[in-house]
Amino acid sequence: MHIFIIGAGLSGAVTARTLAEAGHKITVVESRDHLAGNCHTARCDQTGVMVHHYGPHIFHTDDVEVWDYVNSFALFRPYRNRVKSTVDGAVYSLPVNLHTINQFFGKTFRPDEARAFIEETQADRTITDPQSFEEQALRFVGPALYEAFFKGYTEKQWGCSPRDLPASILKRLPLRFNYDDNYFAHTFQGMPEAGYTAMVAAILDHPGIDLHLNTPYSEDMADRADHLIWTGPLDGYFNAKLGRLGYRTLDFERFTHEGDYQGCAVMNYGDAEVPWTRITEHKHFAPWESHEGSVLYRESARACGEDDIPYYPIRLVEEKALLSQYEALAAAEDGVSFLGRLGTYRYLDMDVTIREALNFARRFVAARS
């Protein structure tokens, strides 16, 4: 069976490899000049720093099979994401933890004291069923921590009031009553030593896979394939005939520095008047390496235009209604499958992306065996 896969990001690569190993002939086409989609990494010629060109990606998972899978194609080095935040002239640790609470309020609480302090003097206990991001934050941490660490940052990231965002966005952010500043709580966390692009190249290195970069999708590809797997934007497949699904995109202002600019990989900026959401210093994503020079990006979010790279699906009421219409069109397509973050219009972490690609490919093979 000859299968065309549109997109050489994680979804496309993992699916291609699994189907090729099952004996299918695979053609992968990618419109960009590189592999790995928004996970693309490459070394800076000037500094030697491994740069995450579309923003940092830290691999974290509790899925043992997915962890073993990526390690079969790349050497992963231990990495812990320790985020800092500059707010009102001071630097704090994120996620909000015991150190953050004590520093912010000028206290020396023990864990049980901090828990009682937040619940009894800060959290809004009149909110029993939070519906919005703001209500969830006020119930979760109270107004002072909300204003400092969540409100301004969220307004910049999403371009709207936190009152208009669902509570679910905040529910995945932890509040810790210990000094653990590891941003993620997953069992397995790390970075591929040679970068994500090298990992994806290894996944696609199979005699049954024919790869074409700099190759936009054309409708004749569907005619040439026994089956088409689409990992691009869902509305893009249908030429946005029902309207464009809403995304937030990112602008990156690159700059270099001799030495260590900020002492950490990620520095958030919670103050609303600071135009960027964060600064990332990329040599700190590979702490096993040593570089004199440094590559940094100021990162700002805005509404995604037609020619911009989509990053975060908005998924508010209007977008969900439009999504349901596109999902109906997709379900009616014969010989086409939609996969991945863009193809299903969801925010997916890398491990979930790989898990869904493996599951899809295995079901595909089983249905045709």
Q: Which residues are catalytic?
A: 172, 176, 248, 278, 299, 347, 349
Strands across the sheet with 336-338, in order?
209-212, 25-29, 2-6, 227-230, 336-338
CB 316 within 8 A of CB 246: yes
Helix ranges restricted to H, the chain: 10-21, 64-71, 98-105, 111-117, 133-140, 143-145, 152-158, 168-171, 196-203, 220-224, 234-237, 317-332, 340-343, 350-367
Report angle CA 249, 157, 148 to the nearest 5 degrees: 165
What are the tokens at 247?
């995304």
Q: Which residues, including other chains, have CB under 8 Å from residue 93's CB and lie 6 or more apart?
A: 82, 83, 84, 85, 99, 100, 181
Helix (H) or strand (E) holding 77: strand 76-78
| Distance separating alpha carbons of residues 81 and 96, to the nearest angstrom | 14
- Output the CA–CA distances (angstroms, integers) from residue 140 to 30, 126, 146, 162, in the order listed: 43, 12, 9, 14
Burial of 56 (0-12, 13-18, 19+ CB in 10 A): buried
Residue type, 23: G
| Distance separating alpha carbons of residues 154 and 233, to the nearest angstrom | 24
CB 10 within 8 A of CB 204: no
- Output the CA–CA distances (angstroms, integers) from residue 59 to 82, 290, 351, in the order listed: 14, 21, 7
Reply yes or no: is the peptide bond before residue 95 cis, omega within 30 of 0. yes
